[in-house]
Structure 1
């Protein structure tokens, strides 16, 4: 990473090109300028030879042994792209990419990143020709590098010989857990992730977030699966910051709406919002209550028990939400509408 930071500083001092360094999850690691160049990772298909341009920013994907990083350069014209290509050559992001002596973990890290060309993917395909892919896709993000080391050791102790554990960056692990056996005890990747989270908390007592991208069933699905958990992590933290386990399936609607023009999102939002609904959306207590109520299948007894509040307190809050928004969360259709309002509100704010 020191080589990347040095290159960003050199380019800024010599050309005044503003740039910042981010992790694959969009966390700012370093910036040559203040404020940092904004980051909103483009879709994998928009990258051409490690470079993508979108909304006034040029992105360079950098592969290192320690993980995958992104450099964001201000501007999205030809000049900015040329600087990105030059920076790619200076830091040598591709210098370690296709060595024959790469370990299985290193090959998987490059495949999961989604940045390899079809030719490069085929070069790795032979290595996995004997693997029957049917694996849960999980990303596990810890608060510190030290926690990641503990977590990786723990996973290696419980992993099956068909499982894969991949270090993506200094805080992120990918765990590909073999599934689809006749005696498989879990019904979904989310169920497995939830139980894994509780086991890790009990054994290691560390802070982490787990995101699931569903089940990988072929070699071809590897490259897109990591993008799914990055997306899930981003919007999971925005919409449900108190949660620790997120499933991509819960955010597919957001994925669809995220490509909708903002004026149209505002139109949808205004058509659904009634009375003083905006006040409810800005109230952390009411929003947390609504989220827990929906997470517990609209069950009042289960929700009040999990939130450690009296049943009547929960009913009072639900009544208040209904009074201000016109939506009775006890009714499934209204609960779906309320969830849509929350999603639209987040996308409109652009947070």
Structure 2
């Protein structure tokens, strides 16, 4: 719903232009916003006016107006100035402005509530389409869910900043289900990720990184139906979790690039230990020295190409072959063979995952 802060900004703006003073109370006469310093004598007449059948009234030189949310009385607006005619006109204008703001923020609240329940799978299929129709939300459109993770120190205004970034796009939705994450349900014009990457970079630039705070952004896959938005959200959430393990240097991570990492992330630790034990016995694939690990990483990066790997490492081809033979003797795996290379690569990722989970336990 509309906040007192928004109401205060509204009447301050009107006061700056017209020099008319305003006090806004609830139907019980409790002041919510004001441009005067003392509101102690406004409560009683405001409460009495709220109970009266009049829509507007002059009481003690002050002009009172009622502001409705549909048929329910929401606010009492009190206007004061030396010019009675101007006060009456500005009272009507301000009352209309507040009523329009109330409607707009109510619709925004309803939409926000709908999107949250949609993301969390709290709606039946029939409810999704019925409520979407009432809220004028297109059920069949290209959408993707992005999650902005705020880690460390937060200022508290990040959600509003991101909302303002998307304010010109009525088909985009920005919400939050916890204090550490901002969720964007973004409408796409075409089925590709270029627009998403640009948006992610804009968010990073907007929020920035400060000392003691970092920002990570993930996104799921593109969906074509409103009911599938929750799936894209789950994918984006998984991308954040898996990205911490296997893509820790990346600020922006897509679910589509997780590959086998998303499968490993769902394995139970006892099964991981059993796998490492069966392949390496008492050893571990990360027990090698830094030179050997660098050689392995570069060899994988170059798709098991011996010539290209030796060139990039600035070593003779025979030197690389010697290192690969040494690894084979130690592990029984020949990294020049695709099956052995896959086994070793998976083992390295499993060990990385196990270390991460151990750190979380501590």
TM-score, normalised with respect to structure 2: 0.49
Q: Which has the larger radius of gyration?
A: 2
- The higher relative CO (CA closer than 8 Å, separation ≥ 6) is in 1
TM-score, normalised with respect to structure 1: 0.50
